[in-house]
Amino acid sequence: MMDAPLDWLPMVFVGLMGLSFLVYAILDGYDLGVGVLLPLDNPSQRDSMIYSIGPFWDANETWLVMAIGLLLVAFPKAHSIIFQALYLPTALMLAGLILRGVSFDFRTKAPSTEKQKWDFAFKFGSLLATMSQGYMLGRYITSFDDSWLSVGFASLSAVCVTAGYCFIGAAWLVMKTEGELQRKAAKWAKITNILMAIGIIVVCFTNLLIDQQIMDKWLGGIQVLIIVPITFLFGFTFVTVHIYLGKVPMENDVGCWYPFLAAILLFILCFCGLAYSFYPYIVPFKLTIFDAASARESLWFIFVGAAVVLPMIVGYTIFSYKVFWGKTTKLNY
């Protein structure tokens, strides 16, 4: 039987870690999606797309650092298991993120003849990062099983997560750009909206079949009624977004924010669904939140640090988005 203080401290930290991963998926998700969507044949549109994420993309990655840091210091056993199993895709993801950072800086300083190469490097780095993250998520959901079926599911997850990032990236461009690029972004969003919907359906059914515990959580009692409003909300969001995107651009750009808001809602619903499915495990069916937690003294020390750092991160994130709100303009360095 655990002491009372240990009951709530691990819950606080898994909540903070989950929040950090969710905010990262939303904020860095759209700029990764924009990177993947960079057109190969239109330099001016590539410039506009880069300008739209320029003030934000680097700070967005702070949330990933925050999430991994919390996992390391608050749940070291889970950190060891997860990253031992995901060593290669983690290395590939970091390589993609590094390539993005280098490419972004060099494209602003390279001669015009070299700029295209760095744009393509930025696109490739974005694709490598999104595919790696999707594969890692698939491996995590299947509890790092090495069967060909689990590896195939992880590969499908890589494609679905990339489609999701592309959807939120395209929705960001619908909100931040105008003219031909906005119309093209709406077309990208319509395609990736369909792909993401298919991916979510496949993942939901697979999730139910992975373990009897998950099946019982969703279908074993009165909680089955939760599925009805959630399914309706998913369907309503996908359909209304698809209809709106077919009418872009609207007069006076009315509702240009709606696809991005819908993408945020879908990301939150998917994240909450996974969290509900696997609770109280932090490593699915192997290690619970409470078994993986650090010592009480360590958790208290980290809690004080998080109470100072987290409001600062939230504050400058809100400030940066407030300063650069509105349609995209050219960036000067």
Residue 224's domain is classified under what CATH number? 1.20.1630
The single residue listed with the structure tokens 């990032």 is: 165
For the chain, where are the E strands, in sequence order?
A: 281-283, 287-288
Contacts of 206 (CB under 8 A, 6+ apart): 141, 153
Buried b (16+ CB within 10 A) or exposed e, 140-179: bbbbbbeeeebeebbebbbbbbbbbbbbbbbbbbbbbbee
Q: What is the pTM of this model?
A: 0.91
User: What total number of domains does the chain contain?
Assistant: 1
254, with CB counted inside 10 A (0-12, 13-18, 19+), is exposed
Report whether 292 contacts 77 (CB < 8 A). Answer: yes
The helix or strand, by DSSP H or E, that contains position 305, with its residue range, turns out to be helix 296-323
Alpha-carbon distance of 131 to 137, in angstroms, equals 10
Nearest C-alpha neighbor of 2 from the set 311, 256, 290: 290
**Torsion sign, CA atoms 248, 250, 252, 257:** negative
Q: What pLDDT, in 10s, does the model give residues 222-236?
A: 777 788 888 899 999
- Residue 75 near residue 68, CB atoms below 8 Å: no
Examine residue 1 and state whether it is found in any structural domain, yes or no.
no
Extract the residue ranges of the chain whose pLDDT is less than 70: 1-7, 331-333
pLDDT tens-digit profile of 269-318?
Answer: 999 988 988 988 999 888 999 999 988 888 888 888 888 888 998 998 89
Provide the CA 144 distance to its chain's centre, in angstroms: 20
Nearest to 139 by CA among 147, 271, 77, 17: 147
The pLDDT value recorded for residue 3 is 46
Helices 179-210, 43-53: axis angle to 10 degrees equals 60
The verdict on residue 2 lying in a domain is no
Task: Tell me, yes or no, whether 169 lies in a domain.
Answer: yes
pLDDT computed for residue 241 by the predictor: 94
Is the residue at 107 inside a domain? yes
pLDDT at 251: 81
Is the distance from CB of 165 to CB of 93 less than 8 angstroms? no
Domain contains 39: yes
Length of the chain: 333
| Cα separation, 234 vs 221, whole angstroms | 22
Residue 274 domain-assigned?
yes
pLDDT at site 133: 96
Q: Looking up tokens 């295209």, which residue turns up?
A: 116
Rg (CA), the chain: 20
User: Domain containing 98: what range?
Assistant: 8-323
Could you tell me how far CA 309 lies from the centroid of its own chain?
A: 21
Which two structure tokens, joined as six digits, stand for 239?
């359909």
pLDDT value at position 165? 96
Cα–Cα distance measured from residue 153 to residue 147, given in angstroms and rounded to the nearest whole number: 10
**Residue 187, in any domain of the structure:** yes
Residue 329 falls inside a structural domain? no
How many C-beta neighbours within 10 Å does residue 116 have? 14
